[in-house]
Amino acid sequence: MFFQGLIQLSIGYYHLGCENYPGADHLLTRGLSKLEPNTSSACGVELKSFLGQVKKRIEAVRQQSGNSQSMRSCVIPKIEMVEEGSIDSPA
């Protein structure tokens, strides 16, 4: 589910860039739900701050509904890696 969640987030951000806000909301939310069961990291990826940024973007997308201002210039969160010894296995 970890990789599926990352792919869904990627596609969600793609939809956001195309100003398809319902599609962005749907896929960002689905991707988030697949990654949230992991603790602080999975497969060497730090998740705590990454998912915090995704949650903020979802809130912004939901507030965007009906607003004519574009979100094309939104910042996509950067994936940070963690050290080998601190990797949690994916749920």
Q: How far apart are the first and last CA of the chain?
A: 8
Q: What is the pLDDT of residue 2?
A: 93
Each residue's pLDDT tens digit, 26-60: 999 999 999 999 878 899 999 999 999 999 999 99
Measured CA to CA in angstroms, residue 88 lies from 3, 14, 29, 38, 41 at distances of: 14, 28, 22, 8, 6
Q: What is the DSSP string of 6-28?
A: HHHHHHHHHHHHTT-HHHHHHHH
75: pLDDT strictly greater than 50: yes
Please give the average per-residue pLDDT across 13-30, as a whole number. Answer: 94
